[in-house]
């Protein structure tokens, strides 16, 4: 599938795949309505990614400006830039999409209850100049005397991540810019604001992971332009503590009671909810990954941008700007002692396979129902989706 830059990708419990992105023309990959006259799209596949149907509210062609008015309030907004899609585990027809709007319209979180046919705003937040020059705020965030001034003077531009409590689908978490992690206990009808929760800045990524074994425990991984931080709350977002701080982290996996942190050249594991870490997979043995870049910065040429775990196998995607022929998807079954290259050469941000969250592209993996072999679906940075059935 080409002609669409994929920004978000997920797989529902019934096997249906959902992807969100922007239609592009030629080699123009900027996620902006002016360079994407096809507008924002949501894609749906019911055959494991073999074919896709596109549902969109097309932006005008021919260089005409995109309307800032969402006129019907049901179809996918034509200028919505999605950052993450989440599907209700026990009701795969209910879908949430976090993101932003490039045309100045206040869309931060959308919801569909019919498998992507129609969409509604879940978070309402709009500022207007009122009488006397003060900001008048229209929102479904609970406003208290202590937070009224703070909320009225904030500029919110996007929702970075959304998570659904598997025990209680009415409990939602939304990572935002400037407003931190908002939480809802009524399915998004209202939201609670905590000024001490983790916030993100424009151009960075966030990942929210809920612990299904411990109600109220949520992890938030925030990747900035120069550093990354991992936070945890044990009371449903009332209080947060910092667990880890470093230069880069592309992903967080929770498997059973083991927490995995995917770093640029290491995959670490924690058995005590992030208090202590040990090395789980040595990715420095990847071909070409540790070759120094000749710029005097002591940086290495390669970086792990995605990791997926299945039983004893780890699948990792390496981006490498310096060493030719080494970027791609690898697998190890011995914690990094040896690696096998499964595929490479797919176009991406550096001319090869890329799934970096900072690029906006993602991957999902599942077991093929027929052959019981891993299937990897990867969103390339510039030219759509690629699917592999991996024979081990």
- For residue 45, the SS3 value is strand
Q: Which tops the pLDDT comparison, 342 or 385?
A: 342
- Rounded Cα distance between 160 and 126, Å, is 18
pLDDT at 26 over 60: no
**Cβ contacts of residue 27 below 8 Å, gap of 6+?**
382
- Rounded Cα distance between 254 and 221, Å, is 12
- CA 304 distance to own-chain centroid: 16
pLDDT at 59 over 70: no
**In the structure, what pLDDT confidence band is assigned to residue 110 with cuts at 50, 70 and 90?**
very high
pLDDT at 219 over 70: yes
Instruction: Specify whether the CB–CB gap between 321 and 337 falls below 8 A.
Output: no
- Rounded Cα distance between 118 and 370, Å, is 32
Sheet architecture: strand order including 80-87: 80-87, 95-101, 109-112, 120-121
pLDDT at 158 over 80: yes
Q: Which tops the pLDDT comparison, 51 or 127?
A: 51
pLDDT at 354: 39
pLDDT at 348 over 70: no
Sheet architecture: strand order including 313-320: 302-310, 313-320, 328-332, 340-343
Torsion, Cα 241 303 255 19, to 10 degrees, reads 100
pLDDT at 83 over 90: no
Lowest-confidence range among 144-148, 278-282, 355-359? 355-359
- Pinpoint the alpha helices (H) of 94-248: 148-152
The winner for highest mean pLDDT among 16-25, 71-80, 187-196, 346-355 is: 187-196
pLDDT at 313 over 50: yes
Mean predicted lDDT score pLDDT of the chain: 79
pLDDT at 203 over 90: no
pLDDT at 135: 67
The winner for highest mean pLDDT among 168-172, 264-268, 353-357 is: 168-172
pLDDT at 269 over 90: yes
Lowest-confidence range among 14-18, 67-71, 115-119, 369-373? 67-71
**In the structure, what pLDDT confidence band is assigned to residue 391 with cuts at 50, 70 and 90?**
low
Q: Stretch 286-291: mean pLDDT, rounded?
A: 87
Place of tokens 């993100």: 200
Sheet architecture: strand order including 249-255: 249-255, 258-263, 267-270, 278-281
Place of tokens 């609970």: 142
pLDDT at 36 over 50: no
Lowest-confidence range among 136-145, 181-190, 320-329, 342-351? 342-351
pLDDT at 350: 37
Sheet architecture: strand order including 172-176: 159-164, 172-176, 181-184
pLDDT at 53 over 50: yes
pLDDT at 370 over 70: no
pLDDT at 31 over 70: no
- Rounded Cα distance between 175 and 123, Å, is 12
Phi, psi of 283 (to 5 degrees): -90, -5
- Pinpoint the alpha helices (H) of the chain: 148-152
- Rounded Cα distance between 112 and 121, Å, is 9
Q: Which tops the pLDDT comparison, 349 or 5?
A: 5
pLDDT at 60 over 60: no
**In the structure, what pLDDT confidence band is assigned to residue 363 with cuts at 50, 70 and 90?**
low
Query: Nearest-CA neighbor of 349 among 321, 377, 371?
Result: 321
Please count the helices (runs of H) and the strands (runs of E) in the chain: 1, 28
- For residue 39, the SS3 value is coil
pLDDT at 304 over 50: yes
């Amino acid at each position: 599938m080409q002609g669409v830059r994929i920004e978000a990708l997920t797989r529902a419990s019934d096997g249906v795949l959902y992807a969100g992105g922007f239609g592009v023309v030629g080699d123009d990959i900027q996620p902006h309505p002016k360079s994407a006259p096809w507008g924002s799209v949501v894609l749906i596949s019911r055959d494991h990614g073999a074919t896709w149907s596109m549902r969109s509210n097309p932006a005008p062609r021919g260089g005409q400006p995109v309307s800032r008015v969402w006129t019907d309030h049901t179809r996918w907004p034509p200028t919505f830039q999605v950052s993450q899609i989440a599907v209700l585990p026990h009701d795969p027809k209910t879908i949430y999409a976090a993101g932003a709007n490039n045309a100045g319209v206040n869309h931060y979180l959308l919801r569909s209850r019919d498998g992507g046919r129609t969409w509604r705003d879940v978070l309402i937040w709009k500022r207007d100049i009122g009488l006397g020059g003060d900001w008048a705020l229209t929102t479904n965030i609970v406003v208290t005397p202590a937070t009224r001034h703070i909320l009225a003077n904030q500029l919110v531009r996007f929702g970075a991540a959304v998570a659904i409590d598997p025990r209680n689908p009415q409990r939602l978490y939304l990572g935002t810019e400037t407003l931190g992690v908002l939480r809802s206990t009524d399915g998004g009808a209202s939201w609670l604001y905590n000024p001490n929760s983790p916030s993100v800045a424009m151009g960075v990524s966030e990942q929210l992971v809920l612990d299904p074994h411990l109600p109220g425990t949520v992890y938030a991984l925030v990747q900035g332009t120069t550093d990354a931080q991992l936070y945890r709350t044990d009371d449903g977002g009332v209080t947060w503590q910092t667990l880890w701080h470093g230069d880069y982290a592309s992903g967080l996996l929770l498997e059973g009671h083991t927490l995995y942190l995917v770093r640029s050249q290491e995959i670490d594991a924690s058995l005590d909810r992030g208090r202590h870490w040990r090395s789980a997979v040595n990715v420095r043995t990847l071909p070409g990954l540790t070759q120094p870049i000749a710029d005097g910065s002591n940086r290495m040429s390669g970086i792990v941008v995605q990791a997926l775990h299945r039983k004893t196998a780890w699948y990792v995607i390496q981006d490498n700007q310096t060493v030719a022929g080494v970027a791609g998807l690898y697998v190890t079954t011995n914690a990094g002692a040896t690696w096998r290259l499964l595929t490479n050469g797919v176009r991406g941000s550096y001319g090869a396979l890329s799934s970096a969250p900072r690029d906006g592209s993602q991957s999902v993996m599942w077991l093929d129902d027929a052959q019981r072999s891993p299937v990897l679906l990867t969103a390339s940075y510039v030219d759509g989706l690629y699917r592999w059935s991996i024979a081990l």
